[in-house]
């Protein structure tokens, strides 16, 4: 199936956590890494997160830099990339920040078992795509996004969506900013949660580059077997 070029960008602690055991957001990136993230968003056709991230962080997923927004407008685009939430049961709050700030299409991907009345309410604010029976069929979603002209898709987590995308073989590159802190906690979200790969399925990565950024380090990987 055709799909966009997909990359995951996440910030994680030196022990591989995305947030605390209470799923509380931790500031892992410094100013410069957030700048890098803003540039990635500005260059992407779409940015996607899971509902767990929306419920815990309420991100806007907007481009912050006025210059980057102006450059997108000058190129005939919206200031913001398409903003996508993967949300099996249509739990996205109607007052979520993603609806409040900025221009650009919002897409909520739900499963076919999501309650009709919740879908109806979300359809007032977003394009709702139904795919998958109990959880979103990410392969089908990726194909639909490609058909819509989304050629570069940035996945910003969280832990379970990263698993979903990687286990579906949809990810081409992975950028992990490793911060100078230890979060710990057996139940704290890691870069990739979900069921986990069996030994035979573990995807191999190729290290593309390393870059020290302020107090941390950015590791850029290609998922092997995913030639561009
Ligand atoms: N540090 C970072 O870069 C970063 C980035 C994003 C989120 N986070 C943190 O991660 C945590 C959220 O992660 P999470 O794992 O709870 O939620 P998540 O954001 O990964 O959302 C996962 C949810 O998406 C839905 N979903 C539907 N179909 C799916 C599919 N096929 N595969 C996977 N998910 C599917 C399910 O409801 C699932 O529970 C929060 O604590 C947040 O602060 C950190
Ligand atoms: N890159 C990054 N570094 C971090 O240290 C951190 N804690 C996150 N966490 C992901 C979070 O969900 C959103 O990136 C922020 O919430 C930004 O929110 P905006 O979308 O800019 O409103 N992401």
Calculate mean pLDDT across residues 120-134: 98
Strand locations in the chain (E): 5-12, 46-50, 82-86, 106-110, 127-130, 152-155, 173-178, 205-213, 216-223
Q: Percentage of the chain with pLDDT > 70?
A: 99
For residue 57 and ligand 2, the question of a CB distance below 6 A is answered with yes
Calculate mean pLDDT across residues 133-149: 98
Measure the N-to-C terminal CA separation of the chain; round to a whole number of Å.
15
Write down the pLDDT at residue 1.
82
Q: Are 170 and 3 in contact (CB under 8 A)?
A: yes
Q: Are 183 and 20 in contact (CB under 8 A)?
A: yes
For residue 25 and ligand 2, the question of a CB distance below 6 A is answered with yes
For residue 164 and ligand 1, the question of a CB distance below 6 A is answered with yes
The preferred substitution site among 59, 65, 175 for testing ligand 2, maximizing ligand atoms within 8 Å of CB, is 59
The preferred substitution site among 11, 48, 217 for testing ligand 2, maximizing ligand atoms within 8 Å of CB, is 11
Tens digit of each residue's pLDDT (9 = 90 or more) over 22-53: 999 999 999 999 999 999 999 999 999 999 99
- Exposed/middle/buried for residue 78 (C-beta within 10 Å: 0-12, 13-18, 19+): middle
| pTM given for the model | 0.97
Tens digit of each residue's pLDDT (9 = 90 or more) over 202-219: 999 999 999 999 999 999
- Exposed/middle/buried for residue 67 (C-beta within 10 Å: 0-12, 13-18, 19+): exposed
Tens digit of each residue's pLDDT (9 = 90 or more) over 57-89: 999 999 999 999 999 999 999 999 999 999 999
Residue 227 has pLDDT above 60, yes or no: no
Q: Are 87 and 123 in contact (CB under 8 A)?
A: no
Residue with tokens 């561009």: 228
Cis peptide preceding 73, ω within 30 of 0: no
Query: Which domains, from first to last, does the chain contain?
Result: 5-223 (3.40.430.10)
Calculate mean pLDDT across residues 181-194: 98
Cα–Cα distance for residue pair 35/220, rounded to 1 Å:
16
Write down the pLDDT at residue 8.
98
Write down the pLDDT at residue 226.
60
């Amino acid at each position: 199936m055709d799909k966009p070029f997909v990359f995951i960008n996440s910030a994680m602690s030196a022990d591989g956590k995305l947030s605390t055991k209470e799923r509380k957001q931790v500031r892992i990136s410094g100013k410069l890494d957030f700048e890098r993230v803003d540039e990635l968003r500005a260059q992407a056709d779409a940015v996607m997160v899971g509902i767990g991230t929306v419920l815990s962080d309420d991100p806007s997923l907007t481009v912050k830099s006025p210059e980057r927004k102006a450059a997108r407008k000058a190129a005939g685009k919206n200031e913001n990339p398409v903003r996508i939430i993967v949300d099996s049961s249509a739990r996205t709050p109607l007052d979520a920040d993603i609806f409040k700030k900025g221009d650009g299409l919002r897409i909520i991907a739900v499963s076919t078992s999501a309650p009709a009345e919740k879908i109806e309410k979300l359809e007032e604010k977003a394009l709702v795509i139904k795919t998958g029976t109990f959880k979103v069929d990410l392969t089908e979603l990726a194909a639909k996004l490609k058909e819509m002209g989304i050629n570069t898709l940035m996945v910003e987590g969280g832990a379970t969506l990263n698993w979903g995308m990687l286990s579906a073989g949809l990810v081409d590159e992975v950028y992990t900013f490793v911060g100078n802190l230890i979060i710990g906690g057996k139940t704290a979200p890691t870069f990739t949660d979900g069921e986990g790969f069996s030994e035979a399925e573990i995807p191999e990565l190729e290290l593309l580059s390393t870059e020290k950024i302020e107090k941390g380090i950015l590791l850029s990987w290609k998922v092997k077997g995913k030639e561009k």
